[in-house]
Structures are given as structure tokens and as C-alpha cells.
A and B are shown apart, each in its own frame.
Chain A
Amino acid sequence: MRSLLPAVAEQLFRDIQKAYQETSQIPDDLLIALKFVFGPCALQALNLVDQHSVTCLSSSSGRKAFQVIGGSGRLYTCFVSCHYCPCPAFAYTVLRRNEGPLCKHILAVYLCQAMAVTQEESVSDQQMSAVLSGTALP
């Protein structure tokens, strides 16, 4: 059967984006739905959003990547073109057990995008290549 959760998640993000554009807030029912679909991840991701932990790096050549400051202060680089996060929860919950569609960092990226509160930062191409190849200093 076709996997349906991505469609649900996508629709939720669209609804959040719409609601936030119109009222500058996320209504309670969408928060509850977020929690229902993403489980405990939702709370942690919202906390990251509150902390303004998501930054979108863009290089002069047009490459983009997200950096999320985790709860411990570690930087996680998430990609624009696919779902990947170097955090242990992604490796375990998403990749190994397939128990959740996303980790909290990627969810936070989506929420920040939906709310248009992603911090923007321009980096040089050199820095970007270091970030994308994982050789950047944290």
C-alpha cells in the first residue's frame, strides 16, 4: 500500500503555514494534530522552533542547507533535498525501526519553514562545501 503518512505530514505543514500566515499563530487543534502524527517529536521540535534553532545556510552559488542547534547545543546539518539528519534519533527511530517519519530536527526545519521563522545566513561556497561534506567545525 502507498505510504500515507508523508501526505498527512505535508498537509499538516501546509495548514500550519496557512494558519500562521493569516493569524501569526498555530491554532491548538493543529498543535494537537502535530503531536498526534509525530508523537513526542512534536514537542521537542516546537521547542527548537521557540529557541530559533533553525538556520538556513545559503552559499553564493545557490546551495542551501539547514543547520539545527540541538538541545545539547550540537549542530545538525539537514539537507534540503532529502530527509537526513545525523542525530541518533534519526538513525534509530527513522532508519532502523521505522517508527517515526522524521526526527525532531527535520520536523523543526519544516515548522520553521511553515512559520517563515527560519534564520537566514549566507556562507561562502567554501564554508558550504565544508558543511555539506561534514567537515565543518561545529
Chain B
Amino acid sequence: MSSGKRKRHYKDIKCVFFPDDAENGLQKVGKEPRPHSSASSAKSWEKCGDSFQDSPVMKNLKPSGRKLSDMRKMAQSSVQTRADPCNEDPVHIAWSSSDGEQSDDEAQDQQQQRPQRPARHTAPVQSYTRALRMLSTDKDDLPIIDTDSDLEESEEDVEKDSGQQISDCDSEKFEEKPEDLPLTPSNTAELEISGYVSDGEHIDAMVTKSRPDSPLQSGEGGRKSIRDWVRSAQAMLQTPQKLPSNMQSKTPEDSAKKKRKFKSGGLAERLNRLQCRQRSAVSFWRHQSISEATATVDRPGVLVLEVLEVHEECSMQLVHCEHQQPPGEGHQQRDAPPEDRACLLVLFNRDTAAQLILVPRDIVHIYPPWQSLSIEGSSCDIILNTHFSQKVSAATKPANMSLPQGLLSAARCNPYSLCKTFGLLQECRTAEERNTKQTAASDAPYSAGGSGVLTRHRLSLLEAIEGLGQAGSMGQDVEVAVQRVYSIPVPDCSPVSILKPRLPTRSSSASPLAAESKHRLCVLVQDGYGMFSVVQLHLLPCKDDLRQYCHMWQGRTCVLRGIKVVQRVTRERSSRLFSLIDSLWPQEMPLRDHGNTLSVSSESRPAGPAPSFCYLLSGQESSVERTEEQTVSPLYLPPKKRTLRDILQSEIKTCRCSFDATVLYKRIIQSSDVGQREVWLVLTDPSVQQEQPERSCRRTVALCVSTSCALTSSVVDALNSPAACRMSFRDAIGEHGVLLCVEQSVVEICSSDPEGNTGFGSESQLLPEKKTLPKPVRLDPLSPEVIPNSLCSLSGVIVGVDENTAYSWPACNHCGSDSLEMIAEKPQNFSCVSCQSSLDKPDTRIRLEVFLSSSMSNCTLKVKLQEKTIMSILNTGALEGNEFPGYDVENVLGKEVGPLAVYVRVVTRKPALWIGLEEICL
């Protein structure tokens, strides 16, 4: 008890040094809220400073701290026997109080806090020395209030250090601080010390502690007998109605909660979310129910119950209740005939039970959302989820209660027998029985989807997706028709690309002509109800495997399993995907109707509008499995090969189309976005090359392969080679006279066999006329309507030369590099930096851009010429000579060129038509 003694010593000293304060202290104990002038406290602080310097007694302070743990033990034991606190030594109570302060994370200790307060109030009617002792015991609160002096310290550390806190204080500091003191009106001496550090929070703490709502303070006045005080103290101890208010700030389980990672989309994640929501709802509700003095039952769904029996089982309370009429409907509950009172069983969890502390004949209100569980073979319903419960009237008067009866009176049930397992495991005991049960159970949901016959698979994607829930992979298989198989580029194989399927098109840094990017296999599937879904599958180990998967799956009936939902895609958000879906709509085959599953085959619904949404799913290679049927699915709509002429003359503005065409020219365009490259192809086919009397159609078509279109390596090779090649395009988009290959489009090399255009597993769709291209290919003459990235033919007269871009330079005749070095010994000779060869006579490269006048008037045509054309218009003999004199512009002007095959680079129509062209070699 050295610590306790120390405290008393300190108080004694203080009393000696500040007799006026001692008086104050006394008065304060008598009448609590006595405002203290800052001047007097300042004075006492000054004196206090002196006393600290002089008093040798203060040295005793140091060792006190280590005894605290012992003290705490004592305190706890004293609290456990706190049935009659008036018999307690006040010092004990004091310690229990300080202890209660210390471990505020333990509800028990919070309860212990209670007894301390009445003890303080018993003081004034005791002897003077007792009062002093009481003051000194109250002093034990000081160190705790001081906690903020060291913000870094955890509360517990502060508790341990509490003994030293005062001795550590700098007395100078004390003298500076007195202005802060008047903030704490309820205490005098204690708070004078505490005041120098107390901030708002601590004052709050103090204020809550001396809340005026405790029944004690209502009976204030200091004249009551000690017995009265003790009685009211007992009442305080035993009517814990307000007790939960200390715990209000904390709701069950939100402290000491480990942050756990749950499987995304899993049940645990979902429950965790629900739990968080519920937790905040509960704390909000408790806060509200505390602030509202009276309970309202006018809300619907409130259960008003009278407690009959309380049992405790597995830390929960099982309460037998009787239904009561809500108070608003009259107060004759007790007179109601017993048959009208329904019997209910209510489960309260530990937290709620600790707050309610129910005893028989209590009235409890249970607010929604409670749940009712009816147990098979039992007449009583069980009410669960009773977080929102409130005790509205206690059965007995607080004064008559001796202890928290609820906790004691709850009869503990014997633990249930561990040998008695619950139903599900018992099923497991006999394997055969379980098997039959399981098959019966698993068949049940399918029967709704099938048409009378039990099928193993669901037929509706929507049902299967709804059935997915949050549990992860799909439990049931769905039967679908694979409409398309394609691949999408995955820039860096990051999982992000799966989640955000539209991003790779923008973030892709890999050129479509580079071979490093990986491709992900995708299938567009459709169920019997017409619903579409895109399933993203595994990465293709080799890009050319796509063909194999096309052969395997496209057009077939397959079973989807182990699929997860990634995204719901709407028409607005993904117009490209829906342009493909639209091309597969309306279905020629009658579709099933969700509302009318049983009469599927007989009735078909009229083809409505194409679906406005679909699902993006993800799965593994094993997620798609072909059914046994060898035939093509009746739902399958193969890509119909059309001629370019047909496509160009099509009325529809935007459509998906498939065709074979010859690539005349290819060009890689670096767009303004860094790293994004598109490939422009100029295509033609016999249908547009043939003689057209009405001249309605262009002879070449530009096609842009966007970065979102995955190209197989054989296509990339073909495009990198200079030769013209014939290619097959599936599901390209035709838009405003330009063709576009995007995500769902597939480009393939046409096999040499003209009949072998079944590359995508499509049915061979014979072209109306099999014609070969004329040689040379015919091009449209340049016209004002020309669009960029197209080809045309041009002839005209040179009217000007762009002198800024006209120059010639030597280049290595082996490798073409222009980085040549002069050899020092032989000034006439060069060595190539890149191929290390020495050159006697390097090639001369020449570049010339000229302005042409053609049949088109009011139009500026700037043409970048090819070398052979330049040579033909220049006096090439001069180039051969050793001294290169340069050319005169006049020599070039007026020369006729053409017809040239030109590529249209830029078309500017304002302020005047200006076309930038580049001569090409076909």
C-alpha cells in the first residue's frame, strides 16, 4: 500500500501548504460543481511549485509505480466482492476506481468504475480525515487525466507510470498553465493538477464521469445520512440501465478485429460487408436509443415481449418470452387471456444480453430487422438477430435489487452432447442414402430449365449467372452455342486486362505488327433464350492456336462450367461488341422464353429487339467443353462472306461483315497516342475491280486494323512482307465507307486454294463469282471526294517543287544505311558504320516532293515521288558524275508525270482542297 500512502502523504502535504485549498477540497466534496477562480488556483500552483522543491516526501513517489499491478489485483478482488461497498475501505474503492480507468477496454472494468463514484460521495459525511483520504483516493484519477502530457504513450503505459507522472512534472510548467484551469468546474484540487494538460477530450471524460444523470447527484446536498448515500450507491451498482452507455462508442467486435483478406466475391467477403453494415447500424441505433429517453413502439414490426424465463447457452441467452400488446393499444396486457399470448423464444447474443440484463417479467422491445426461425418439429419460433433490443421497464424496483440478477439468474444450460451431430452429417453416414439424396436434390433445379426431360445442364445463361451469387464459380453447367471464337491482345498479361477488357486497346504499347504481346482466347456464346455472353478464357500459348479453337468450338453446342462473372456490359458502353451481337440477330431459330419454359418447342416468341446487355465472364480452358453432338448448333449463325462491292453498297451505316480481299498496300500509322500503332490496309477484290458501267463503287477500300484486334503471327509475317497477299477478314466493322478490324474481328491468311475459305469453321460460303484480280490492279482516279488512306491513280504536270524537302544523300549500297564515314587515307572512299563495308562509290539517294496540277481544279496536290520517278524527270546523267552540280528547278517544272499509283496521306478541305499524296509501288 505504499502507493496509497504516498497519495495520502501528498494530499496531507498539500493541505499543509494550502490551507485554503484544503478547505476548497472539502467544500467540493460536499457540493460538487463549484467553479474555481483561476486566480486562486494560480496562487496555489505557485505554492505548489515551492512545495515540490522543498518537500522531501515527494521522493517517495518514484517506487510507487511498480506496486500498481498488485494494487490492481487487490482492486479486482475487492470489486468482485463489492456486494456491500459501504463496508469497504475507501482506499480499496479508490484503487478499484483507478483500475477501472486503466483498462477501459474491458467491459468488466468499466462496470467496476461504478462503485467508485458512490464512494466519493460518501466522503462528505465522514470524518475530516476520511474526507482527506477520499480526496487522496480521488487523486488517483490524476495520473490518468495527465495522460495527454505524453501523447505517445499508450494508455496502459500511462497507467503504469501514473505514480511518476506527478514527480515528472516540471514545476515551471505548472506556473504557466493556470489559465487553463477554469475549464473544469466540477473538481478543485484534482483538476488543478490535471488541468495543465487536460484538453477537451479529457474534460469530456470528466464530464461524462460526473454525469448529472446518475441518481446519486440528484440527491445531492451533503446532508443525507451515510446510509442514504450507501443505498443510492448500491442502486448505482445494481441498476445498470445506463451502464451500456459507456460501451456505446464501441460496438461488438469492432475492436481488436484483424484485417483479413477474403476471397473476392466469396461468401466470407459478403458476410464481412453485411457485418460491417450491421455493426454501424447497431451502433447508430444504440446511440439513438440512448439519446431518446422514451422508447417508441409506434414503428411497425416492433416485438413487445415479456420475459418469462432466461437461460444461458453457449454464451448466448435464450429467453422465453410472451407476446405483449404494444403499450399504445391499451395497458391491459396482464388481463389478456393467456391463449392470446403467443410464446416465443428469443436468442440474445452476449453483447445484447449484457446490456439488457433481463430478468423474468421484464418488458423488452425488439426492433426490426429481427429474424424469425421456425424449427421443424417445434411449435415455438425463435427470434434471431436481436441486436436492436431495448428493455423498457424493469421488473423490479432498482432499490430492491441486490445485484445484476439477470446474469446470475440465467440458468446455464448443460452443454449439448457432442455425440449428437446435426442433420447434414448424419446424412453423410450412409453413403448410398446420401448419394440418392444428392442426385435428387441436384436434379430438382434443372427440371425447371429443361422441357420436361431432366437435363444435366441449365439452358439459361441468365439463370446460371443469377445462381452464381457471390460464391464464385458456377455450380451448374450451362449449355450454349458458341457463336464466335476470337482472341484479344493482352499487353502485359496483367490481371487488370481481364477486369477491364476495354483498357488494353488503349494501353497497349505493343505494335500489332510486333509479335511479343500475348493473346487471350475469347468466345461469344449464346443460350437458347437468345442471351449472349463473352467468355474470356486462357492466354493462348501460341497465337496461331486460335484456328484450332475455332475448329473445335465455333458453331458447336458447348457446356460452360466454372465461370465467373466479370462485368455486365451494356449496349451503350460497348457498342462494338453489340454490333457483333446485332449481326447475329434476329435468330432464325425460335428462342425459348424465360416465362414459358415448359412449352418451348411448340411456341416461339417473335424476334424482339436484340438484347441490350450481356455478361462478360471469365473461365479457364476447361470451362468450355463441347457436347457429344457432332452437328452444328441450330443457334449458330456463321459469318457470311460478302464481296467488297456488296459491303460498300450496303445501306446499313455500321455493320459487321466478313469477306476475303487482297491487300494491295499496308501502312503502319503511329497515332498521337504514344505507343499506339494502327495498321492501314488497302484492299480490293474482284467484285470491285471488274468493269463497272455505273461507276458506283470504289475499286479499293481502306481497312484499319486497330490495336485491339489480335493478329496471328502468320498474318503479321504476311503483312511485313512486301508481296500482296490475300486475306480473310471475319466480323470487321463497316463504318462510313471504311472498314475496321477491332476486338472481335479475326484476320487470317487465305489458303492458296480459293475454295478453302473455311478457316474459321464457317460454312463455305461461295462467292457469287470467282474472279481473279486484273493485273495491274485498277485504281480510281483521284477525285475531290477522296478519303485519306486510300489508293488512287494520278497523272499531271509538275507546277512546283518543295525545295525544303528536296535533297539527296549518299547511302551504303549494301545495307542502305546513310551513316557513312569518310576513310581518312582515301578521301574518295567511305566505310559504312552499320555494315562495316568500305564503299568506293556509295549510292545516291534522292528525295523530291512536287506540286502537280491535274484535271482537278482549285486543288493543291503535293506528291512525294519515288526514286525511279525522280530519276526519270531529272537528268540522271548528272548524278553519275563526281561533282554533283545540283539541279535547277526550271528543269523539272512543266514535266508530265503519271499515271502514278498514289497513297492519300492527308486531305485538307479548308480553306481549299489540299491533298498530300505519296507515290507507291504496287
Residues of chain A touching chain B, judged by Cβ–Cβ distance below 8 Å, are 1-15, 17, 21-26, 28-29, 31-37, 39-40, 42-44, 46-47, 49-51, 56, 58, 62, 64, 80-84, 94, 97-101, 109-110, 113-117
B425's closest neighbor in chain A, by CB? A80
Interface residues of B in 409-432 (CB under 8 A from A): 411, 413-416, 418-425, 427-429, 431
List residues of chain B with CB under 8 Å of any chain A CB. 253, 260, 262-263, 266-272, 274-275, 278, 309, 311, 313-316, 318, 345, 347, 349, 371, 373-376, 378, 382, 384-386, 411, 413-416, 418-425, 427-429, 431, 438, 441-442, 444-445, 466-472, 474-476
By CB atoms of chain A within 10 A, which of B278, B411, B420 has the most?
Answer: B420
Query: Would A80 and B267 count as touching, CB distance under 8 A?
Result: no
Chain A interface helix/strand/loop/mixed: helix
Q: Please judge, given known A-B contacts A24-B468, A24-B475, whether A46 and B371 are in contact too, CB under 8 Å.
A: no
Whether the pair B384, A36 counts as a contact (CB closer than 8 A) is yes
**A82 in contact with B421 (CB, 8 Å):** yes
Q: Given A10, A46, A84, A97, which contacts B418 in the complex, CB threshold below 8 Å?
A: A84
Residues of B within 8 A of A50 (CB): 262-263, 266-269, 471-472
With CB as the reference atom, state the residue of chain A lying closest to B476: A24
B314 touches A7 (CB 8 A): no
Q: Indicate the member of A15, A24, A28 with the most B CB atoms within 10 Å.
A: A24
17 contacts between A and B (CB under 8 A): A1-B411, A6-B416, A7-B375, A8-B382, A8-B384, A13-B423, A25-B468, A31-B271, A32-B385, A49-B266, A49-B268, A50-B263, A58-B431, A82-B418, A98-B315, A100-B315, A110-B422
Instruction: List residues of chain A with CB within 8 A of the CB of B476.
Output: 24
In the complex the two chains form, is A13's CB within 8 Å of B424's CB?
yes
Cβ contact within 8 Å between A35 and B271: yes
A43 touches B425 (CB 8 A): no
User: A86 → chain B, closest Cβ, in Å?
Assistant: 13
Chain A residue numbers with a CB within 8 Å of B260 are 43, 47
Q: Say whether A98 contacts B314, CB under 8 Å.
A: yes
Given contacts A4-B413, A8-B384, A62-B431, 12 further A-B contacts (CB under 8 A): A1-B413, A3-B416, A7-B375, A9-B422, A13-B424, A28-B274, A43-B271, A46-B268, A47-B268, A50-B268, A58-B431, A81-B429
Q: Which residues of A contact B376 (CB under 8 A)?
A: 11, 14
CB-CB under 8 A from B309, the residues of chain A are: 1
Sort A-B residue pairs by CB-CB distance and give the 5 closest, nearest first: A25-B469, A50-B266, A24-B467, A47-B268, A99-B315
| Bound CA span A32–B373, Å | 12
Cβ 8 A contact of A99, one of B314, B466, B469? B314
Closest to B475 in A: A24
Tell me whether A32 and B431 are in contact (CB under 8 A).
Answer: no
Check if B384 sits within 8 Å of A4, measured CB to CB: no
Q: Is the CB of B385 within 8 A of A80?
A: no
Q: A11 contacts which chain B residues (CB < 8 A)?
A: 373-376
Shortest distance in angstroms between A62's beta carbon and chain B's nearest beta carbon?
6
| Of the residues B311, B384, B445, B470, contact of A33 by C-beta under 8 Å | B384
Q: In the docked arrangement, what's the CA distance between A23 and B467, Å?
A: 5
Residue of B nearest to A34 (CB): B271
**Contacting B272 at CB < 8 Å: which of A3, A43, A84?**
A43
Given the complex of chains A and B, what is the CA–CA distance between A3 and B314 in angstroms? 10
A24 near B469 (CB under 8 angstroms)?
yes
- Chain A CB within 10 A, most for which of B253, B260, B418, B420: B418
- Chain B hits for A51, CB < 8 A: 263
Q: Output the nearest chain A residue to B468 by Cβ-Cβ distance.
A: A24
Complex: how many Å from CA A72 to CA B900? Answer: 75
State whether A36 touches B470 (Cβ < 8 A): no
With A33-B371, A33-B373, A58-B431 known as contacts, the answer to whether A14 contacts B441 (CB < 8 A) is no
Q: Is the CB of A25 within 8 A of B385?
A: no
Distance from A38 Cβ to chain B, minimum over Cβ atoms (Å): 9
